[in-house]
A and B are shown apart, each in its own frame.
Chain A
Amino acid sequence: MRNLLIISFLTLILGCTESIKPVDIAAENQILYIGNGTEPQDLDPHLVTGVPESKVLMALLEGLVIRNPDGPEPLPGVAKDWDISKDGKTYTFYLRDDALWSNGDYVTAYDFVYAWNRMLMPSLGSKYPDMLYDVVNAEEFNKGTIKDFSRVGVKALDSKTLKVSLKNPAPYFLELLCHYTTRPVHKETIESFGEMDTPGSQWTRPGNFIGNGPFTLDKWELNKVIIVKKNPSYWNSSVVQLNEIHFFPVDNASREDLMFRSGQLHVTSTVPPEKVESYQEKYPNNIQVDPFYGTYYYRFNTKKTPFDNKLVRQALSLALDRTLIVDKVTKGGQQEAFSFTPPDPDAYFPPTALEYNPDKAKDLLRQAGYEDGVDFPVVDLLYNTSEGHQKLAQAIQQMWKTSLNIDVTLTNTDWKVYLSRQSIGDFQIARAGWIGDYIDPKSFLDMMVTDRGNNQTGWSNKRYDNLLKEAANSTSQQQRFNKFYEAEKILMDEMPIIPIYTYTRIYMLHEDVKGWGNNILDSRPYQFVYLESN
């Protein structure tokens, strides 16, 4: 509240005196100001799961390949070249000779083996180890059935050659390697602040952090700002034009909006929903509505009553008028989601079964033993603090009340509490969003397999697990997609999660930002971004 007042006051003063705004002189100094949504949980690539964290890690660490800002085909990163065997199961990466850590050490194939070993160690407790489950024996090692990491299919043939063996062909594997979980970490740094598998140690702090990305961590003031500076020892540093990037953890959308309009940010993380329409008229050059490969959904805790009952979950989904939600509540060009996987540019068409049918919803609830909502316990809906989530939660709260006569309380907490409550199962319904890590239905469907770190619903279905295994072993893309289709049908019948809408990435972008690129995963390597005033 006070901050809001101060900022509005500052805005007023700045507006009156025409003094210099940070973005006005940013082009001269090449400093990019980014509104990054919320304070990152950590900066350890093997422990974090969120989008805000991924934005910072994009600057700090570089994997074998990097995301192409303008398309799906990855660009060479630490690997200057690679071979893929004919059966699609063996990848050999040739690392470039000039890849350095920010302290001057060489980045070697051993660093990758170390990093992957670390992420797969069961004792580290990574939520994301399944990213590497395509690698031979990775899953077994992570589950503890194999203790010897040398049996896992990643080998350093020499310091500059890395061989990865997969248990099945994975057409998306190169794209997956753009993800931060597969990036290398600096062994000496990690081990000088704890064991290899110590979570949350001090190695991610400024001054300690050794990275190999285009930028290095300069400053991290909690809830204030994270500053990264150009890394002179980065192999491709001649391309990097930005000198600094400042990430601001602003989770209040209207405050972020004020910051953008008072010239303190180049890029925002979102736009307040009630502003979208008027900004499309007022700031058509700034407001960006990009297609986005992600789904906004609610997850149920299927371990607790009443959501251990499939009929209840189905009833709650049937009572949602998704069309009304995207037209009247979110208003940002989102599409109603009728399946978990977003409609796919690579021609995977998910089953589109979800409908709005309040009568059927009532009927199902009656069958579940709660006729007209009688005896239905008051349930709690958890979301992380943000106006957008709150607005939608209120709309949905009312929809359930009107059609099913059930009472829902709303609980909002900050990002870290929200994440940890979900991971320990301390919730009944929770808001969730999932952005694909690579463009493939697997990036969505695989997380719902029994006991996956990001499943977090307690839901488990043998046939679903098997279908995903079969999909992995498929020989043709068509066969894979058929298996995914079958699996998703089960998922949308069981409904441990209810998809609500397909995201659009909606944000404000300053005119001076160039080289921003366009891809539906919204990941943009900062080495290609620069500022130029018109």
Chain B
Amino acid sequence: MNKQESSLFKDALIRLTTNKLSFFSLIYILLLVVVAIITPFIAPYDYAYQDLALGASAPSSDHLLGTDTLGRDLLTRMMYGSRISLMVGFLATSVALIIGVIWGTIAGFSGGKIDAIMMRIVDTLYGIPFIILIILLMVIFGRNLILLFLAIGAVEWLTMARIVRSQVLNLSKQEFILAAEAMGVSKLNIIFRHLIPNAMGPVIVYATLTVPQIMLLESFLSFLGLGVQPPLSSWGLLIRDGAVSMEEYWWLLIFPSLAFSLTLFSLNFIGDGLRDAIDPRTADN
């Protein structure tokens, strides 16, 4: 059993690296993460440093990507912004992933009354306006970035749970699960060894789509004064600020948007690659 599983993941990794698009995407994301981590040591300026007299200036040798309307270096701000955006994206997605997958699997596998109750809870939570929930959390726990990530994750798991449940409902009627049950494998083992790995495909695709969605959400919350506060910035905020003055200062919109969309594309390609690679049904040996 163990031997077989480790080879499954090895195969997956090989399949992923042979897919060029997802391979380069993976490299790009890894690079981005590395840059984000070492930003404080390599950033050309301080992210809050303002040169008011300079104001907004186009890309030049002093400021490779130009400066914003308060004379702050755009490259620096994008580097610091990537830290926030990536952190929000990955942290919140992991929270959503963990809660959603566990909840969905248990509901789908248990069926009957437990399923009904668990899914009605999901439906109820869907009905609660997201913004109000976040504001409530902020009021209770104060303004705190980590908490914001967790709060977003705690709201974003709902769709995940539904996707997983539908997958599990489908899977649990299949022969290999019935066989495992007949052989007396414990329920917990069935869930974690068989159901979750087999349901992973759509989950991973949805997770890679959730990351960009959450990055956008973060910029929206920050604008309302609930997320990142100036002078710190995130990509979403940089793009929003850039969009306001795109006719006057194009570079403020173009560069952050480029970085943002490249990241989103990469995450999607990785998601696609991962789905093909992990799904045991596409195993070719």
Contacts and interface: CB of A to CB of B under 8 A. Distances in A.
Nearest to B143: A411
B144 interface: no
Contact of B52 (A254, A275, A328, A390): A328
B48 interface: yes
A412 B70 contact: no
B197 interface: no
Contacts of A16: none
A253 to B, nearest CB: 8
B248 A328 contact: no
B248 A274 contact: yes
A253 B240 CA distance: 13
A398 interface: yes
Interface stretch (B4-12, B25-33, B37-45, B219-227): B219-227
B50 A398 contact: yes
- By Cβ-Cβ distance, the 7 closest A-B pairs, closest first, are A412-B225, A274-B245, A254-B244, A1-B220, A328-B52, A398-B50, A394-B230
A275 B231 contact: no
B69 A397 contact: no
B85 to A, nearest CB: 15
Given A274-B69, A274-B245, 17 more contacts: A1-B216, A1-B223, A4-B243, A272-B244, A274-B249, A275-B245, A277-B248, A324-B53, A328-B53, A329-B52, A329-B69, A385-B225, A390-B230, A395-B50, A398-B70, A398-B231, A410-B230
B219 A1 contact: yes
A278 B224 CA distance: 28
Given A1-B240, A395-B50, A274 B225 contact: no
Contact of A393 (B52, B220, B230): B230
Contacts of B216: 1
Interface in B216-256: 216, 219-220, 223-225, 229-231, 240, 243-245, 247-249
Contacts of B240: 1
Contact of B55 (A1, A321, A328): A328
8 contacts: A1-B216, A1-B240, A253-B244, A274-B56, A274-B69, A274-B249, A321-B52, A324-B52
Contact of A272 (B52, B231, B245): B245
Nearest to B252: A274
Contacts of B55: 328
A283 to B, nearest CB: 12
B280 to A, nearest CB: 39
Contacts of B52: 321, 324, 328-329, 395
A397 B49 CA distance: 11
B229 A410 contact: yes
A413 interface: yes
Nearest to A384: B225
A409 interface: yes
Interface residues on A, range: 20 to 34
B48 to A, nearest CB: 6
Contacts of A394: 50, 70, 230-231
Interface string B43-73: 0000011101101100000000000011100
Interface in A337-371: none
Of listed B49, B69, B240, B247, residue having the most chain A CB within 10 A: B69
A387 interface: yes
B250 to A, nearest CB: 12
Contacts of B245: 272, 274-275
A402 B57 CA distance: 22
A272 B252 CA distance: 16
Question: Which residue, of A273, A395, A411, has the highest number of chain B Cβ atoms within 10 A?
Answer: A395
Greatest chain B CB density within 10 A among A328, A391, A411 is at A328
A275 B224 CA distance: 22
B4 to A, nearest CB: 47
Given A395-B50, A401-B48, A275 B248 contact: yes
Nearest to B241: A387
A512 to B, nearest CB: 24
A411 B70 contact: no
Interface in A54-98: none
B231 A397 contact: yes
B69 A409 contact: no
Contacts of B70: 329, 391, 394-395, 398
Nearest to B220: A1
A293 to B, nearest CB: 27
Contacts of B53: 324, 328
Most buried by A among B52, B55, B219, B240: B52
A275 B220 CA distance: 22
Interface string B102-135: 0000000000000000000000000000000000
Nearest to B221: A1
Contacts of A321: 52
Nearest to A392: B70
A278 B48 contact: no
Contacts of A387: 244
Interface in B60-90: 69-71
A322 B49 CA distance: 18
A22 to B, nearest CB: 23
Contacts of B243: 4, 254
Contacts of A413: 225
Contacts of B230: 390, 393-394, 397, 410
A274 B261 CA distance: 25
B135 to A, nearest CB: 11
A391 B229 CA distance: 12
A390 B222 CA distance: 12
Nearest to A325: B52
B234 to A, nearest CB: 13
A391 B225 contact: no
A409 B228 CA distance: 11
Contacts of B225: 385, 411-413
Nearest to A328: B52
Contacts of A398: 48-50, 70, 231
B248 A278 contact: yes
Contacts of B224: 385, 412
Contacts of B49: 398
A129 to B, nearest CB: 32
